[in-house]
Amino acid sequence: MSEKTVVVALGHKALGATLPEQKQATKAAAKAIADLVEDGAHVVISHSNGPQVGMIHTAMNELCSNHEDEGYTPAPMSVCSAMSQGYIGYDLQNGIRSALLKRGIYKPVSTVLTQVMVDPYDESFYNPVKKIGRYMTRAQADAEEAKGNYVTEVSGKGWQRIVSAPKPVGIVE
Q: What does the pLDDT look like over 118-155, one tens digit per residue?
A: 999 999 999 998 888 888 999 999 998 998 899 999 99
pLDDT at residue 84 tops 70: yes
The pLDDT value recorded for residue 1 is: 47
> pTM of the prediction?
0.80
CB-based contact 38:105 (threshold 8 Å)? yes
Q: Mean pLDDT, to the nearest integer, of 76-87?
A: 89
DSSP 110-145: ------EEE-TT-GGGTS--EEEEEEE-HHHHHHHH
